[in-house]
Amino acid sequence: MTYTHIPSPPNKSWGRWLGRNSRQGNWWAPLLIILITVVILLVTTDDFATSQNASNLLAQAMPLIIVAIGQMIVVVLAGMDLSVGSVMSLTTAILALDGSPVVLILLVILAAASIGLVNGFAIVRLNVHPIIATLSMQFIVLGIAQLLRPVAGGFVPDIVVTVVTGSVLGIPAAVFWAVFVVALGWKLLHGSRFGLHLFAIGGGAASGQTDTAHNFGLKDHRNIVLAYVLSALFAALAGVFIAGRIASGDPGVGSQFALDSITAVAIGGTQLSGGVGGLHGTILGAVLMSLLANGMNLAGLSAFLQGAIKGAILLLVVGLQSRKKMGL
Amino acid sequence: MQPAVTMKGVTKHFGSTRAVNDVSFEIHRGRVHALMGENGAGKSTLMKILAGVHRPDAGEITISGRTVAFADPREALAAGVSTVFQELSLLPNLSIAENMFLGKELIGRFGIPNRSEMGRRTAQALSELGMSLDPNTLVSELSIAERQFVEIAHGIKADAQVFILDEPTAALNAADVEILNTQIAKLKAAGKAIIYISHRMDEIFAICDDVTVMKDGTHVATQPLSELSPDGLIALMVGRELSDLFPARAKNTGPVLLSCQALRLSQDSDAISFELRAGEILGLAGLEGQGQSEIVRSLIGQFPAIRGRVAVADQSIGLPLPTEGGVRFMQNLRVGFVPEDRKEEGLLLGAPIAENIGIALQAARPGFRPLARFRDAVKRVMAEMNVKAESSIMPVGALSGGNQQKVLLGRYLAADMDILIIEEPTRGVDIGAKAEIYRLLRALANEGKAIITLSRETVELIGLCDRLLVIHDQRIAAEMAGDDATEHAILNAALTQ
């Protein structure tokens, strides 16, 4: 009721820290579940605490972390990219072609950038809903990947395999990958004017003020297209990582990643309505999902049951976030 | 002295309608300039041209002697024009500082936004307004008043010379209006020009120096307010006097339709009892925030009263009513509730007029058997309410404030309610539409319906209502007939115990 003046609440630093009233979203729930899962695994299994399993876990989590960062860039804009899985498949298919590694890598970058451009233009110029635009692209790109390589096979250049599975001074390459993508993701989302504008445009979309960002002179269309290009490039990077791990091309390798990356982003507290989210939440979300898969494998759970548990966790965590509205 | 803003022959068309037609006038530094006119008179369009949202088709705007043509609002701000629009233009998920610097962020090392410097400068701009908000607070955590002050601070930070305030008090309570007025006085003393749009006569005369009146997109007059009386100003706007706005009161009233017994709003407040008779318009008057809104909202379950009973349509219902379903329950007893905030609570802005009116008819139907045909009812209501729209499938959001309010009232007309509970019958509605709404409400009462209403505008209650209950401190302080009521008497009754 507007009759009674309600003074604005004092800054509740705890609530802010936990993401209740901040733009970071609620990220403590995945952290809590990660800690619980780790404790359970430490107590119940012998294999979990080995350094072999730790590096295995990081390598398993890495593709999802990379795709989820790209996915988050478009989700902050109230968008969604369903084509990321196909981009990963296409990337492995391209890398398994005959040719020099440099040409193949350039081809991957070119393909991903074009896919992102088409996604962005379909959304901005043709006013196609992001789900439809990227779903169409998902089919198109998967088709191309399957044309290039109908079944898994071929050989990925040695250099790609080395960059992914090698180690420097005893530190596995995956650690360097992790540092690089997290730094890049932080820079893009939280450490740049571009990132701030992403949140501004997404916040406008979420609160029904679609003209506001534009009125501030932001180049909203250009930023949206760029976001989809970045999402595709992150997906391609994840594809390179996977190609290095399996050392061959596989058109089916990305099939789970579109929904898994959205799941990781949502678990991490990013609002699908746009404008709210934090990189750390997304990373926690991706780590949680990989950790659960790892733990359930160690515990010998059926793959079908694993899917059901993944769904239950998603519902539980997003339900726990209990936000009334964006930012409110 | 050179005027702050000079407009010469400014014209703007939207399709075939001429929203602003050959408007010329000057706005001076250190003065508050009221812009008056009915809704649709072209005030908002003219201000949007000045603020860079729209581009004029013809004419010339000069700011401090320089001819300007803005491509977007940011250019206007850079040229010294700051606007606080009715529709707020801050992003709720960004902090105050981020909003203030949006599009012009200060960039530090490695291209990383320099948050501490932006925060410092924001705090400085806020402190010039005497506000001590943390610049890192998200805008979503601010009250509406605070958001408006942040927008004004935005203008101060950009060193704006011209401030446009478009109905700044529409959503403010009395205390915040007071603070706003202080800020306006400060801006004025600093030699800024302020353009002030409002429908509230008392505000205009309290704080403005000059007035420009527009009508149907054209310029009617620009003169110092000291040369005008309220009646004279209204006459300029609509060509008729204030007393003509209100229709004649009820001659006689019928049986009691609703009675409220021993209603207590809080544990230690006095009991409130009143009756509402057929054919009468009952007003809840008094200072703002004394419980008027809580009383009417208790009746439909939107405020949790401690206890009380309401008797309506041969039923006696114990309060509090459940929050969910309370409105619908009372609607089935033919009691309609018209909320104050028509955009948030009243209308589905994106839905067509027909759906907005038909929804009350549907509410009385079983869930899976909606009414398929209600076009005739909609057509009848739109004609009766004189809703000005091209067709009934237009989205309500595209209508003017007055027409939106008529659609909202029309919804309950279509559902043939016996009792209407109306908060702010004419909020954000222009004078012409106000008069129409008063006539319609009186016509409904004359048909034997009963109306309870409350309003921030005491003049409106006095003119419209047959009987007034003066509410103070959550109790009835006095009851008076509309004929005897004056603003002075109401204030007196409220404040002398």
Instruction: Say whether B173 and A2 touch across the interface (CB within 8 A).
Output: yes
Cβ–Cβ under 8 Å, residues A252 and A152: yes
Among A7, A11, A23, the residue with its CB nearest the CB of B93 is: A23
Between residues B399 and A132, which one has the greater pLDDT? A132
**B171 to chain A: nearest residue by CA?**
A2
Rounded Cα distance, A178 and A192, in Å: 20
pLDDT at residue A10 in the model? 44
Is A7 touching B (CB cutoff 8 A)? yes
Q: What is the mean pLDDT of the segment spanning A228-255?
A: 94
What is d(CA A9, CA B383) in angstroms, rounded to the nearest whole number? 46
B27 Cα to chain A: minimum distance (Å): 25
Query: b/e for A197-230, b at 16 or more Cβ within 10 A?
Result: bbbbbbbbbbbebeebbbbbbbebeebbbbbbbb
Question: Is A22 in the B-facing interface, judged by CB distances under 8 Å?
Answer: yes
CB contact under 8 A, A207 and B93: yes
- Report the distance separating Cα B51 and Cα B81, nearest Å: 6
User: Across-strand partners of B34?
Assistant: B196, B211
Give the C-alpha separation, B88 to B343, whole Å: 14
Residues of A in contact with B91 (CB under 8 A): 200, 203-204, 207, 209, 212-213, 275
Measure the CA–CA gap between B11 and B31, rounded to whole angstroms: 25
B 171-190 residues with CB below 8 A of A? 171, 173, 175-176
Q: Mind listing the pLDDT tens digit for each residue in A40-91?
A: 888 887 777 788 888 888 888 999 999 999 999 999 999 999 999 999 999 9
Residues of chain B under the 50 pLDDT cut: none
A195 Cα to chain B: minimum distance (Å): 10
Q: Which residues of B touch A75 (CB under 8 A)?
A: none
Is ipTM over 0.90?
no
- Residue A226: partners with Cβ closer than 8 Å, 6 or more residues away: A120, A194
3-state secondary structure of A24: coil
Cα torsion B378, B382, B385, B389: sign: positive
Query: Which positions 257-296 of B are in contact with A (Cβ < 8 Å)?
Result: 288-289, 292-294
Using DSSP bridges, classify how beta strands B32-36 and B193-197 pair: parallel, antiparallel or unpaired: parallel
How far off is chain A from B155, nearest CA to CA, in Å? 13
**Please, what is the end-to-end C-alpha distance for chain A in angstroms?**
16
Bridge partners, residue B263, by sequence: B272
Q: What is the pLDDT of residue A7?
A: 40
> How big is the A-B interface in CB pairs under 8 Å?
118
Q: How far is B53 from chain A (nearest CA, A)?
A: 8
Task: Tally the residues of chain A.
Answer: 328
pLDDT at position B82 is 85
As a whole number of angstroms, the distance between CA B475 and CA B272 comes to 6
pLDDT of residue A223: 93
Query: What are the backbone dihedrals phi and psi of residue A49, each rounded to the nearest 5 degrees, phi first?
Result: -80, 10
Helices and strands, counts by H and E, chain B? 16, 20
3-state secondary structure of B315: strand
pLDDT tops 80 at residue A243 = yes
Query: Mutate which of A22, A193, A214, A219 to disrupt the B interface (most B C-beta within 10 Å)?
Result: A193
Q: Quote the pLDDT of residue A325.
A: 46
Between A176 and B237, the higher pLDDT residue: A176
pLDDT at position B317 is 87
Q: For residue B457, give Cα distances in angstroms to A25, B37, B126, B426, B428.
A: 42, 18, 31, 9, 12
Query: A191 and B74 in contact by Cβ < 8 A?
Result: no
Contact A62, A121 (CB under 8 A): no
Check: CB of residue B28 under 8 Å from CB of residue B3: yes
Nearest by CB to residue A7, choosing from B72, B143, B288, is B143
What's the whole-model pTM score? 0.72
Chain A hits for B427, CB-CB cut-off 8 Å, are: none
